[in-house]
Amino acid sequence: MMSSEKEFKKQVGKLYRQLLMAFGLIGVVVFLFLYIALNPSILVNKPTETTIVPVQEVAVEDKIENGIHVATGFVDGEGLTEVIQNCTNCHSAKLVTQNRMTREGWVATIRWMQETQNLWDLGNQEEAIVKYLAKNYAPQKKGRREILTDVEWYELSE
């Protein structure tokens, strides 16, 4: 009697473990099923990705658009290359383009940078640089409206 009870318990235990395993398996299958349902793309063979690099006709650094050198904002003109090479190393080109000076003013600014900011001797490039700056970043000629001349005054009648 005792042994058959033992046998019974053993059988129940075995069944119990089998059930657990079955549920475990079902769990895994359901999980996989849901995973695939939510990410169907994992079944599709992904084509090896090809990165298309557009071929640029002109390197970005050299691009001029509407007379403006795109990368720096400098006006296109003779001496532009020298200015880019010598005037954008320490500060942004904006510091240059937001200023307007006479030739003397530009030379003085260059001297000031040479004396106090370690700007190098511009050598034979200085002329091209100063010329470019004085031409393209000259003071605006008419900051104020000119004084009126040739006005026909009239008397105020009372």
CA 58, CA 10: separation in Å to the nearest integer?
A: 82
99 is a contact residue toward ligand HEC (CB under 6 A): yes
89 is a contact residue toward ligand HEC (CB under 6 A): yes
DSSP letter string, the chain: -HHHHHHHHHHHHHHHHHHHHHHHHHHHHHHHHHHHHH-GGGGS-PPPP----PPPSS-GGG-EETTEETTT-PBPSTTHHHHHHHHSSSS-HHHHHT----HHHHHHHHHHHHHHS-PPP-GGGHHHHHHHHHHHSPPPS-SSPPPP-S----PPP-
C-beta of 100: minimal distance to ligand HEC in Å? 9
Selected range binding ligand HEC among 24-32, 63-71, 81-89, 140-148, rule: CB under 6 A: 81-89
Nearer to ligand HEC, 80 or 96 (CB): 96
CA 110, CA 121: separation in Å to the nearest integer?
A: 9
Selected range binding ligand HEC among 1-9, 66-74, 91-99, 138-146, rule: CB under 6 A: 91-99
149 is a contact residue toward ligand HEC (CB under 6 A): no
Q: Between the CA of residue 17 and those of 24, 25, 29, 55, 81, what are the distances in Å?
A: 10, 12, 18, 65, 82
80 is a contact residue toward ligand HEC (CB under 6 A): no
C-beta of 69: minimal distance to ligand HEC in Å? 14
C-beta of 58: minimal distance to ligand HEC in Å? 24
C-beta of 126: minimal distance to ligand HEC in Å? 8
C-beta of 53: minimal distance to ligand HEC in Å? 33
Choosing from 41, 48, 117, 140, the residue that interacts with ligand HEC (CB under 6 A) is: 117
Chain contacts with ligand HEC (rule: CB under 6 A): 86-87, 89-91, 95-96, 99, 109-110, 113, 117-119, 129, 133
